[in-house]
Amino acid sequence: RVDLEGLSGRDEGLSDLDLDIADGELVVLIGPSGCGKTTALRMVAGLEEVTSGNIYIGDREVSRVPSRERDVAMVFQSYALYPHLDVAANIGFGLKLRKVPKAEIERRVKEAAEVLGLSELLDRKPRNLSGGQRQRVAMGRAIVREPQVFLMDEPLSNLDAKLRVQMRAEIAKLQDRLGVTTIYVTHDQTEAMTLGDRVAVMKRGVLQQVDSPQVLYDRPTNLFVGGFIGSPAMNLLQGDLERVGDSSWVLTLGSHKLELAPELLDARPAIAAYDRRTVVVGIRPEDISDADLDPGPHHSVLELRAELVEAMGSDVLVHVSLDTPQVLTEDARELAADVGEDLAPGAGTDERTSPVVARLNPRTAAREGAPVRLSVDTTRLHVFDPETGAAVWDGEAAGS
């Protein structure tokens, strides 16, 4: 197991990180560029200085222990293979440096090659391998070390989309077979959500939330996590809540009104404190449907105009705009910056309207420039405090 206690570095890349990783668990660190995920990984590896805090691998405190003595193996973004050595020599190179007996090296290399499907390639040079095969060799070099911990830093980012899918599945099977505690850093959400037993979301060196992928998706602790997890991203809108009568609630989004489902109020009783107040509402694209195909029992209909229609095969992404002001909180700006957008005044965006993406059934009749009726599942709305960014649940932030 790996325990990180109050971990901070010399620069501002990481601040007071607490994270416990169970024996045999695969935890993914994810967040925007510069959030501290790679810094944390390099600290565990012993490649970056720890200014405060402790790192435990098993029962041993290793924050001041040299990298070579930490019993970890790292797989980098670049394969870092020796071009003049064949596959077998590349896999066994680290063992040779440690003066492991030749027969033991051959045994471990053979076993790793069998696990990774490299047995027929042991005499080839890296230049004669595909990108996926080179990555397998890099992983084989880590496996033969038989370490307590695997550290993986963007290991699939140099592969094309098809190979990434294949290698993702292979890494998952490999980790399950070997049962080695693994810390995996990536910027790819699909990798994070499909590989991780748990996913840790970071922002500016601070851990925001760590939980199973589904909990992160369904119960984000704050606006940043909600907006970061999911593709296409959660729609973030400024709205006003108001109680109508004894038990009904209405959410006003510009000139549109949504009646909140009783299930939402049961799940988020703290909404009662936001009567006649402005909130940030999150709506996932898949919680919006074509009202003519699927009106739903607890859906409210928005009548809008389709600005862009993207047919994806299994679904259709429809882009519309709502006449409600853009969410311009610090978290919203950070999320926009991560995808190359700028929410600053005068940046070319209309702050009086908010873009919305809906993921519709491919049978939709939506066409660009034509009216479209969108049905919003109000049992699935996410509500955030506009000042703190905390999710509104039962009086405390989700996951706290």
Distance, C-alpha 155 to centroid of its chain: 15
| Strand duo 235-244 + 277-283: pairing | antiparallel
Query: Residue 331, SS3?
Result: helix
pLDDT tens column, 169-209: 888 888 888 899 999 999 888 899 999 999 999 999 999 99
Q: Rounded to 5 degrees, what angle do the CA atoms 300, 331, 360 make? A: 35
Give the per-residue pLDDT at 359: 96
- Cα end-to-end distance, the chain, whole Å: 23
Give the per-residue pLDDT at 396: 47
Q: What mean pLDDT is predicted for residues 319-323?
A: 95
Count Cβ atoms below 10 Å from residue 42 Cβ, excluding itself: 20
| Strand duo 198-203 + 26-30: pairing | parallel
Residues 6+ apart with CB under 8 A from 233: 227, 335, 339, 357
pLDDT tens column, 27-48: 999 999 889 999 999 999 999 9
Residue 131 tokens, joined: 């990108």
Sequence letter at residue 379 = T
Predicted model pTM: 0.89
pLDDT tens column, 261-297: 999 999 999 999 999 999 999 999 999 999 999 877 6
Cα 223 to Cα 309: distance, rounded to the nearest angstrom = 27
Residues 6+ apart with CB under 8 A from 59: none
Residue 3: burial class (beta carbons within 10 Å; 0-12, 13-18, 19+)? middle
Place of tokens 């005499």: 123
Residue 387: burial class (beta carbons within 10 Å; 0-12, 13-18, 19+)? exposed
Q: How confident is the model at residue 303 (pLDDT cuts 50, 70, 90)?
A: very high
User: Which residue did the predictor score with more confidence, 345 or 129?
Assistant: 129
Give the per-residue pLDDT at 398: 40
Residue 29 tokens, joined: 């660190």
pLDDT tens column, 232-241: 999 999 999 9
Distance, C-alpha 63 to centroid of its chain: 27
DSSP tag of 272: G
- The whole-chain average pLDDT of the chain stands at 90
DSSP tag of 234: P
